[in-house]
Amino acid sequence: MKIISYNVNGIRAALKKGFDEWLSENDFDIVCLQETKAMKEQVDTEIFTNLGYQQAWFSAEKKGYSGVAIFSKITPDQIVEGCGIEKYDREGRIIRADFGDWTLLNCYFPSGTSGTERQDFKMEYLADFYSWVEELKKERPNLIVVGDYNVAHTEMDIHNPKSNKNTSGFLPEEREWMTKWFESGFVDAFRCLNPEQVQYSWWSYRAGARAKNKGWRIDYQSVSTSLKEKIKASQQLTEVKHSDHCPVLLDIDL
């Protein structure tokens, strides 16, 4: 099963750059999008229906902001919008799909780059998300949690760790949360298979960062340790360019 996670930085903008053509040229089972920046009715969704995808959208209340969606060629048993915490659900950050005995969470974690208030909000989200998933595990222990985590975990996951040590997305407390997260019963699918490989999933639009490959790996696929042996591949598809992120592929035998 091939699962794509992709922060498209606006699905309407990505479509203008050929996102739908790229999807049509590939046979992905499930596509998880973050930062759709659109209500479902603002997008020609027939494009995706014609490619065989069933769609579940969870958009932010604020227009042109945040939002997540799951496109699937496999019919889910259940779709759940949000995590039940209003301040996060208003921003359209989490959508859940259950398939048989496993569950997929597609998540867009907050960014803290706009200032102290949003950084505080991000840290609250990390704490609350961790607690929420701990409860969810009791009901649905086989989890795959994909999306834009907005945190680079280790020095291997960022092009210049020394100059970014005080930058949101690479702060010690954020990285400590990621370590705690992966110690709580998840594996980082990419690192599990590629312990020494350096790949990034996001590049600033400034100063030709992508051409110079000065990036960050902030898009993750967390897989429950119970599913670890089923992981076949995990890669950043760095040549695909519809966004400031690239898609991340997880191939898993479910």
* Residues forming the active site: 148
Alpha-helical (H) ranges within 83-200 are 86-89, 116-139, 172-182, 189-193
CB 19, CB 45: distance < 8 Å = no
The separation between CA 57 and the C-alpha centre of its own chain, rounded to angstroms, equals 14
Question: Would residue 180 be called left, alpha or beta, if left means φ above 0 and alpha means ψ between -120 and 50 degrees?
Answer: alpha
Amino acid at 55: Q
Q: Give the dihedral sign, CA 162/163/165/169.
A: negative
Q: Which helix (H) or strand (E) holds 179?
A: helix 172-182
Q: Which helix (H) or strand (E) holds 63?
A: none
Apex 60 CA angle, 209 and 147, nearest 5: 45
CA 94/CA 70 separation, integer angstroms: 10
Q: What is the CA radius of gyration of the chain?
A: 17
